[in-house]
Structure 1
């Protein structure tokens, strides 16, 4: 049973017919009230925004219709805006505030194909949609035969899809940044004249869901932030940092130690990327796991790794180093390594069985080992493995150790205003990244 119902009365032509739209809305609301006699859903009515005077008259007319439906009227909202993208995004925010995900959309059959495109871009599989046809046109005529013919349309022409995508992009670009200015953290280790790099924080983006706000840079089928929003956040990052978002590549995390050598066939999943190509930006995500950046200013090669506790033990950091040595002739003595914001030993616990592996590497990687869930220092473990592999200690930046001002390697769980954290926020967490590219 739907938790929310969206009634699409969209189009200037439909909105221009006062009597007809009132009849249509009244009939639709009657059906909803009968169908949901026990648990009334939230109802959102989506209308085209006409000039101000006409808009008020139209809204007054709709409110008169709504007032007659006792079981529904407290849960009915009318959304007047100038574009479908703006209307759906406004309704999405209302759904997310109430944690609703099962939605019925009642709409003209000829709008169904375009609506599906909008939904694919602005929602994720967290939401379940059911479509139902409105059978009347703006003049109150029964259009069942036309609707049945239109309902056979499953895809739009490429040109129409491009127009929808442009509408969505333009709308998202118009939204203000949230939670403060976009902030990029940089390392003094990596020479700025050779490499462009940085680590993102959670400020300055458009993601509004609390645990994802505001600069979330990862979309998944289990979260409510759609790809279009993440794409807009990335566009803003690229604009601020000075790279091309069209040549951006982030690792496809599998919590292991596989590395993609850019230019060779791309694996289905991997936790590291290396390249010596100019004009491309590579990145690794993190939300407690360590985003690690690698730079060789001599051979002008770089790498990025996602190092969670499993990837750390499997040696993902040294897998990047070895790939740079093998593929680009780098010397281990020239490679600079920077550990980005990640969960510290103050906040990260593992079951003792997993903790034993870190204890075997170095007892100082584990605190309160006798506990059933000891605290783990994945940064120290990463440094030990890198130094064992030949990276010079002075070429590794972990300023949680070397700089007590904590300019870069913050604990993500301890700083909710600056970073996302799986440990702190649970499964619906946001994601920051570390990124690097070779300057032209």
Structure 2
């Protein structure tokens, strides 16, 4: 997200005279505005309509901006308006004949979005923007709403979206859009800290009201892990609120490179925790580096690691996966557990055995007591590497690679993981993977082959969702 007024091109410059710098910034602003794919006009001020019967003046102002910067060819425009009930302030009253005439100047179209919650308005607009795969957004807004708008943008959008802000202030006979009398606008006489708290809570409240998509939350469980001692599971994609097709619906990871913002993912976690029985506030996931570092919970946390182990009760640890293997470990004797993320690089680097060794050294676990479950991940039916990379798997065991002589052989990272675990001393019967005899108990399903159940990077591309494997000690 960006604000062109703070463009790095002009930061730290002391040689340019003030007026020249101002002109340069204005030029940059005009350029950024001209690249906007969609325009949002913030008319969300509960106090404004108390002293002004309609939005004629703001609309005139927006059209003035259009004429100045777009030659009246302003992009599709959303008018964001306050509405405290379904029946109050009907659209024809808010936008009477004079306003409608001005709105006809929005030649590329417009949509009036009204609600008592700005969070609801922005989230609705975001769905339209995402459906069209747009990301260049101009926000025309009152000056004193900028701080709160920044919070909304931070929580509901990611760095994929590029924002330009154009502040305005309209004077009318009965005062300005930034009404200083009557009802107070959110943010008046409120500290920035409280404003953030109020704004974030309004977002959370709205997201909590949204219906779950793709059915109810479904959690896969292993027959190998004793439920009397450990809470565990592997998530599937149903039951969340993420609506972007490749992220829908229980996406559990927010990335600056994808369209699912952190508050949406947080709401998915809240719903998952309620069904699974853990508190999202005690949840800790590995910080993926595609290597083999292990964090011993309670010690200094590294910047990145692909496995975590603990013997603390009531703490939920997890590993993400979207083709890479989420692996769960438990020692029922010494009551310790672990979670690891094992992609093809981590598999070769031995992240699974590194997790085992950490449990042995930290919690006096015995290798023969440790149980290991491989979760949903890409199978050898769908995962290929170039021949040079596949050779490392072939060297471990030729059966880990199919069609080895082809330019892109198929690689079995699950079989490779089992082989390395057994070589490290894990008993074969203490490993659950896709070799289970009873296929109804198989949790190591291919993520790429089951689009109805799982997210997959291989299948969905860069804007992929994420599921997790989680575990905690309950007694």
TM-score normalised over the length of structure 1:
0.93
Alpha-carbon distance in structure 1 between the residues aligned to 2:98 and 2:130: 28
Unaligned runs of 5+ in 2: 1-34, 181-187
- Show the counterpart of 2:229: 194
Residues 338-386 of structure 1: per-residue CA shift (max 9 Å, x gap): 0000000000000111000000001011001011000000000000000
- Show the counterpart of 1:207: 242
* CA contact 2:59–2:103 (8 Å) conserved in 1: no
- Show the counterpart of 2:16: none
Alpha-carbon distance in structure 2 between the residues aligned to 1:24 and 1:12: 14
* CA contact 1:400–1:410 (8 Å) conserved in 2: no
TM-score normalised over the length of structure 2:
0.87
* Count of residue correspondences: 432
- Show the counterpart of 2:390: 355
- Show the counterpart of 2:126: 92
Is residue 45 of structure 2 the alignment partner of residue 11 of structure 1?
Answer: yes
- What are the equivalent positions in structure 2 for 1:388-399 lying under 5 Å apart? 388-399=423-434
- Show the counterpart of 1:377: 412
Is residue 234 of structure 2 the alignment partner of residue 176 of structure 1?
Answer: no
Greater displacement, 321-330 / 135-144: 135-144
- Cα deviation, residue 401, structure 1: 4.7
Unaligned runs of 5+ in 1: 147-152
- Show the counterpart of 2:7: none
- Show the counterpart of 1:101: 135
- Cα deviation, residue 118, structure 1: 1.3
Residues 310-350 of structure 1: per-residue CA shift (max 9 Å, x gap): 00000000000000000000000000000000000000000
Cα pair distance change 1:375/1:195, threshold 3 Å: same
DSSP 3-state at the match of 1:12: coil
Cα pair distance change 1:167/1:38, threshold 3 Å: closer
Alpha-carbon distance in structure 2 between the residues aligned to 1:168 and 1:326: 45
- What are the equivalent positions in structure 2 for 1:204-243 lying under 5 Å apart? 204-243=239-278
Cα pair distance change 1:400/1:7, threshold 3 Å: farther
- Cα deviation, residue 58, structure 1: 4.6
Residues 392-417 of structure 1: per-residue CA shift (max 9 Å, x gap): 00000003554334631110000001
Work out which of the residue numbers 128, 131, 148 in structure 2 matches 1:114.
148
Alpha-carbon distance in structure 2 between the residues aligned to 1:96 and 1:88: 12
Greater displacement, 168-177 / 33-42: 33-42
Alpha-carbon distance in structure 1 between the residues aligned to 2:83 and 2:388: 61
- Cα deviation, residue 116, structure 1: 0.6
Alpha-carbon distance in structure 1 between the residues aligned to 2:73 and 2:293: 50
- Cα deviation, residue 90, structure 1: 0.8
Cα pair distance change 1:62/1:75, threshold 3 Å: farther
- Cα deviation, residue 108, structure 1: 1.0
Alpha-carbon distance in structure 2 between the residues aligned to 1:204 and 1:267: 32
Residues 200-237 of structure 1: per-residue CA shift (max 9 Å, x gap): 00000000000000000000110110110111101111
For the aligned residues, what is the CA RMSD?
2.1
DSSP 3-state at the match of 1:239: helix
- Cα deviation, residue 98, structure 1: 1.2
Cα pair distance change 1:137/1:410, threshold 3 Å: farther
- What are the equivalent positions in structure 2 for 1:8-407 lying under 5 Å apart? 8-18=42-52, 21-37=55-71, 40-58=74-92, 61=95, 65-70=99-104, 72-136=106-170, 141=175, 156-405=191-440, 407=442
- Show the counterpart of 1:410: 445
* CA contact 2:63–2:105 (8 Å) conserved in 1: no
- Cα deviation, residue 17, structure 1: 4.7
- Cα deviation, residue 50, structure 1: 3.6
- Cα deviation, residue 36, structure 1: 2.3
